[in-house]
């Protein structure tokens, strides 16, 4: 008898696994189809930072969903660990931003402006002496600093696994396979073709990240998501650990609970090239050393490259595909994919089970890329 599933989710990254988790909470069983392995793409290589107050579209159209998702993350920190036993190091962190010259001060001022008024967040200015008291390894060439508290961080790979593990406990399943096409009946998708079989379905979610354009031919739809390459280095820094995330002078350092310091990241439009490069390593190291000179003594533990899914307006695509009764998109979150994943997952699950959601996804409807909006 042919296999079937109430809902098929194509893509085992944070977005797809979050949809599976929130559908399971609503009592709906789903099958996640993943060709390379869960969280083996951008979701597994993200630095895991959760900053709901800054980034492209924040403040702006992405701001409300970013904060809603951030608050959901805080609840999930305990829930997912209790449910699965996976500790993905969810925690509140402090960010120390520094200025090397007067031009850098505007960036620090912007951070104070957005952090200070928000409950649960705060920011305060520091002089050079105060910065070095907090982080003695920062370059003494800095002229000012700002310490901001309220952001969160976690291990994004373990987080994605925890979402899926919890969903599986509630009836979801995972299938290894590559989608070759979709079975259609007028305005509905009735099945997903793998290389060796077809799985029938009631509804389908495409959470394919930078590979979302593959679905354009399947649906006769426009899904403008393209890959933005980013590289990160994981470094072993001898001596005392860093106590804050650090940013300034072209460098960005993220100390992790295991003692490694993640540095980066880069941004390049290189198609689907996922190879690491010497030029990216040198660029990342240059910024890191300017920020913390002793990074010149650090040993490279691992360098990774991943592809982030980016849309023309740098906003995600969330919702039902125009012209289709049972097809939903959960993609295009760019560098905010891990942050937004709870909001993406719950909103899509809401739409599929209730026809509406209270989450702030209005600006991200797929119809914005369709002529005349429908």
Looking at the structure, tell me whether residues 252 and 201 fall in a common domain: no
Q: Structure tokens of 248?
A: 């300034």
Q: Domain containing 66: what range?
A: 4-84+156-221+316-373
Looking at the structure, tell me whether residues 202 and 216 fall in a common domain: yes
What is the percentage of the chain residues whose pLDDT exceeds 70?
98
Looking at the structure, tell me whether residues 72 and 47 fall in a common domain: yes
Looking at the structure, tell me whether residues 75 and 16 fall in a common domain: yes
Looking at the structure, tell me whether residues 271 and 358 fall in a common domain: no
pLDDT at position 2 is: 47
Looking at the structure, tell me whether residues 27 and 165 fall in a common domain: yes
Boundary of a domain, candidates 293, 310, 327: 310
Boundary of a domain, candidates 291, 310, 329: 310
**115: CB partners within 8 A, 6+ apart:** 53, 121, 122, 123, 148, 149, 150
CB atoms within 10 A of CB 130: 13
Q: Structure tokens of 112?
A: 């104070």
Boundary of a domain, candidates 310, 330, 358: 310
Dump pLDDT digits (tens) for 271-318. 999 999 999 999 999 999 999 999 999 999 999 999 999 999 999 999
* Overall number of domains in the chain: 2
Looking at the structure, tell me whether residues 144 and 242 fall in a common domain: yes
Dump pLDDT digits (tens) for 119-158. 999 999 999 999 999 999 999 999 999 999 999 999 999 9
Q: Structure tokens of 106?
A: 């505007």
pLDDT at position 40 is: 82
Dump pLDDT digits (tens) for 165-210. 999 999 999 999 999 999 999 999 999 999 889 999 999 999 999 9
Q: What angle do CA 260, 38, 160 make, to 5 degrees?
A: 60
pTM, rounded to two decimals:
0.96
Q: Quick check: 1 pLDDT over 60?
A: no
CATH number of the domain to which 56 belongs:
3.50.50.60
**10: CB partners within 8 A, 6+ apart:** 16, 33, 179, 192, 204, 205, 206, 207, 208, 215
Looking at the structure, tell me whether residues 23 and 109 fall in a common domain: no
Looking at the structure, tell me whether residues 305 and 166 fall in a common domain: no
Looking at the structure, tell me whether residues 8 and 113 fall in a common domain: no
Looking at the structure, tell me whether residues 45 and 120 fall in a common domain: no
Looking at the structure, tell me whether residues 72 and 196 fall in a common domain: yes
CATH number of the domain to which 248 belongs:
3.30.9.10
């Amino acid at each position: 008898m042919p296999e079937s599933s109430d809902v098929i989710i194509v893509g085992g990254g944070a977005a797809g696994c979050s949809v599976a988790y929130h559908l399971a909470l609503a009592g709906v069983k789903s099958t996640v189809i993943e060709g390379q392995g869960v969280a083996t793409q951008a979701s597994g290589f993200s630095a895991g930072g959760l900053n709901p107050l800054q980034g492209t579209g924040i403040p702006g159209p992405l701001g409300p969903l970013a904060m809603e998702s951030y608050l959901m993350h805080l609840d999930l920190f305990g829930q997912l660990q209790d449910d699965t036993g996976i500790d993905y190091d969810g925690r509140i962190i402090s960010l120390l931003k520094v200025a090397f010259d007067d031009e850098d001060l505007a960036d620090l001022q912007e951070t104070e402006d957005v952090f200070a008024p928000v409950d649960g967040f705060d920011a305060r200015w520091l002089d050079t002496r105060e910065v070095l008291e907090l982080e003695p390894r920062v370059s003494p060439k800095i002229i000012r600093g700002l310490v901001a508290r309220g952001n969160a961080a976690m291990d994004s790979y373990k987080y994605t696994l925890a979402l899926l593990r919890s969903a599986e406990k509630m009836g979801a399943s995972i299938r290894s396979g590559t989608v070759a096409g979709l079975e259609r009946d007028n305005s509905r998708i009735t099945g997903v073709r793998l290389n060796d079989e077809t799985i029938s379905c009631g509804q389908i979610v495409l959470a394919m990240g930078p590979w979302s354009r593959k679905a354009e031919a399947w649906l006769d739809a426009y899904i403008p998501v393209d890959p933005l390459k980013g590289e990160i280095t994981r470094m072993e820094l001898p001596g005392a650990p860093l106590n804050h995330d650090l940013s300034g002078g072209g460098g960005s350092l993220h100390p992790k609970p295991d003692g490694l310091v993640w540095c980066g990241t880069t941004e390049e439009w290189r198609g689907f090239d996922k190879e690491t490069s010497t030029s990216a390593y040198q660029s990342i190291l240059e910024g890191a050393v300017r920020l913390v000179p002793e990074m010149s003594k650090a040993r490279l533990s691992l360098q990774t490259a991943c592809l982030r899914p980016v849309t023309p307006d740098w906003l995600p695509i969330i919702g039902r595909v125009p012209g289709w009764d049972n097809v939903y998109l959960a993609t295009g979150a760019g560098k905010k994919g891990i942050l937004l994943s709870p909001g993406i997952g719950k909103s899509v699950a809401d739409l599929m089970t209730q026809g509406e959601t209270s989450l702030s996804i209005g600006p991200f409807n797929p119809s914005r890329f369709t002529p005349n909006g429908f």
